[in-house]
Structure 1
């Protein structure tokens, strides 16, 4: 179960991570983006959490939008950073 402090920390650290990516010229450590993203998503709020927050604080949060069938969300596809070889 994620507690409010963990959720808040995930939102803050995710913003910092995205700011770092936006200002970086290139990512030089293989797998860094994926491993950091996994850690940040551990306590990142789900749509149900955003829905509750929006109900309690509508001046700060909006209700999450529901994707229509056939639409892709921004995070619908995961592309591996590197492939693993089998049979070696």
Structure 2
């Protein structure tokens, strides 16, 4: 079971990973990158979490089912 702090940490670490990839610096080897991605996805919020959060904090998150 994922705890709220694990979910938050996953989102923040995913942002860090994406920033690193976008900068092109210190990009890990494919195997390491895959392992990191799997680790982050373990606690990453799913569609249900975003839908619930969008209802509680509509100024922060959008409804994942809405067509943009």
| TM-score of the alignment, normalized to the shorter chain, above 0.5 | yes
Give, in whole Å, the separation in 2 of the partners of 1:28 and 1:40. 15
The answer as to whether partners of 2:54 and 2:60 remain within 8 angstroms in 1 is: yes
Cα separation, partners in 2 of 1:28 and 1:58, compared to 1, 3 Å: closer
Equivalenced residue count is: 67
Higher alpha-carbon deviation: 24-33 or 14-23: 24-33
Unaligned runs of 5+ in 1: 68-88
Match of 2:62 in 1: 62
- SS state of the match for residue 10, structure 1? helix
Unaligned runs of 5+ in 2: none
If each structure's helix is expressed as a fraction of its own residues, which one has the higher value?
2
- SS state of the match for residue 43, structure 2? coil
TM-score (norm 1): 0.67
Query: 1:24 deviation in Å?
Result: 1.5
